[in-house]
Structures are given as C-alpha cells and as structure tokens.
C-alpha cells in the first residue's frame, strides 16, 4: 500500500524588504506577524547568511559527526563541556522513546573554547553571529506588534536544513512535509514566544522523519532568554501562568526522559 504524503510551502519572507528605505517594509512586517499567528513557521530569504558559509559549515560539521562514536563521547571532545554531544535517548525504555538523531549543542560562550579547531570555530561563530542578528530583528518586530516589552525574552529558532528534507509540521491535524528551499532558512516560533504572546503566536508541533538511506543535516540557532528570565503572558484572560525559563527547561528535560518527547506549554496553563 502506498501512503500519500502531503507537502506545504511555508510563507516566504524576503528580508531585503525590511530595509528602512523600502516602501514595502511595513507590509513585510505584517507578513511576518501573520505567519507567526497562522503558521508558527516561515522561510526567510536574503537573510544575510551566505550560501558559501552554510555549505562550508556543513562540510566542517560532517567531518566531526563522522568521527567515531568513541571519540565523540570522550570528555572535552573539541574542548567542549560534557553533554555537548547528544545522541538518541539513552534513557529510552520503549520504541516510542527512541530518537534517531545525534547533535552537538554549543552555547555561544563555548564557541571560543574550540581554539584548536580554528576552521570549525570560525564557521560556527559566523553562522551564530548572523543568525543572532536575524533572530533579534524578528523578535523585535513580533514583540512590538503585540506591545510586549520584554522582547529579549523571545524564543525563536533559525534553522538551515539540507535538501534531504524530512521536516514535518502538524498542520490542521495532519503531518505535512516542509519542502526544502536551498536559498532560505526556516524560522519557527518557540514555546516561550507563544507564552509571552498569550497564545497569539503559535509554537507548532513538528518532527523530523529519518530518510531510509541518506543522512539529513541541519544546523540551528536557538534564541532564548537567560535561565532566570520570568516568562509572563500579556493579555486577559491569561492562558499561561508565570514561570522562569529554568523551570521550563527542567520540565522539558523531565518529560523527554520519561516519555521520549516534550509535553510543552500544557504544563504551564494558568
């Protein structure tokens, strides 16, 4: 039996239209807000991250991922803190909790520690710096439109994925494939921004379906607040209770360990 899979084209935002002298600037900002409201995901082109940088970063990171499992699990691999390298779900007790993935989670301050890996470090620094500027700009636009004062408490993800695909969104109760766009990065609204907006902006459930015979590569920049930041909704009635980002992270880690997936904001309903 052949199971048909539907696909979708995410809203496409041309960042060049945000130029202060562009007559379409206001319309572009409205499109960003609407995409955050209706989709929680959108694509950005002319984002400032060169294709050359993305390709060279992928090349450098693939060399790291192709190192032996023994090497990657050694303490201070790449001179990074313990637990920077993450794979699957070591605490899984059933098939539902399995995760076919491996990743390096590197904080901005830790990038500078990779001094013996200059080429890799320089590519990660360049990507993170540009992605941070992109995330800050988007966060400011979205916060201003809802009169959210704590714009720096936003949580956005800037994602670059290769052409293998596999990213899926839960749209209208169905899983749909996101078509890869080699010229674009993907932006998605996180739980924290949904909470801050009192549910106006949507943090959409998503997943990655592994391909049968090829590896999928992606790199993401997570724009998030400090652990002590207090997340408080704006609006009446309040959908979510007040919580700190540390509470959210701890609850997410607990849920993933116990169920293999995060439960999300339902834990923080008002």
Q: Are 121 and 111 in contact (CB under 8 A)?
A: yes
CA geometry: angle 14, 103, 97, nearest 5 deg? 110
96 is catalytic: no
CA gap 27, 171 in Å, rounded: 25
Q: Are 39 and 17 in contact (CB under 8 A)?
A: no
Among candidate residues 67, 216, 246, 267, the one labeled active-site is: 216
* SS3 of the chain: helix, strand, coil, percent, to 5: 40, 20, 40
CA gap 165, 158 in Å, rounded: 16
CA gap 195, 201 in Å, rounded: 8
Nearest to 143 by CA among 185, 186, 195: 195
Q: Are 169 and 204 in contact (CB under 8 A)?
A: yes
Give DSSP secondary structure letters for 197-211.
Answer: TTTSS----EEEPPP
Residue 72, number of CB atoms within 10 A of its CB: 17
The SS3 assignment for 175 reads strand
Cite the active site residues.
Answer: 216
């Amino acid at each position: 039996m052949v199971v048909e899979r539907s696909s979708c084209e995410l809203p496409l935002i041309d960042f060049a239209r945000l130029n202060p002298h562009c007559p379409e600037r206001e319309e572009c900002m409205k499109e960003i807000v609407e995409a955050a409201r209706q989709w929680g995901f959108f694509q950005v082109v002319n984002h400032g991250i060169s294709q050359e940088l993305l390709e060279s970063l992928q090349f450098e990171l693939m060399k790291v991922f192709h190192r032996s499992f023994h090497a990657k699990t050694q303490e201070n691999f790449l001179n990074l803190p313990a637990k920077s390298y993450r794979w699957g779900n070591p605490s899984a007790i059933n098939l539902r909790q399995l995760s076919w993935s491996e990743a390096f989670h590197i904080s901005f301050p830790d990038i500078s520690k990779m001094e013996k890996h200059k080429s890799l470090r320089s590519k990660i620094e360049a990507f993170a710096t540009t992605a941070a500027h992109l995330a800050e700009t988007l966060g400011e636009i979205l916060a201003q439109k809802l009169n959210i004062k704590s714009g720096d408490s936003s949580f956005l993800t800037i994602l670059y994925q290769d052409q293998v695909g596999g990213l899926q969104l839960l749209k209208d109760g169905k899983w749909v494939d996101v078509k890869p766009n080699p010229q674009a990065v993907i932006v998605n609204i996180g739980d924290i921004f949904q909470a801050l907006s009192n549910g106006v902006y949507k943090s959409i459930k998503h997943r990655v379906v592994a391909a049968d015979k090829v590896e999928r590569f992606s790199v993401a920049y997570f724009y998030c607040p400090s652990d002590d930041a207090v997340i408080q909704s704006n609006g009446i009635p309040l959908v979510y209770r007040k919580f700190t980002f540390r509470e959210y992270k701890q609850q997410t880690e607990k849920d993933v360990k116990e169920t293999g997936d995060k439960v999300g904001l339902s834990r923080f309903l008002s």
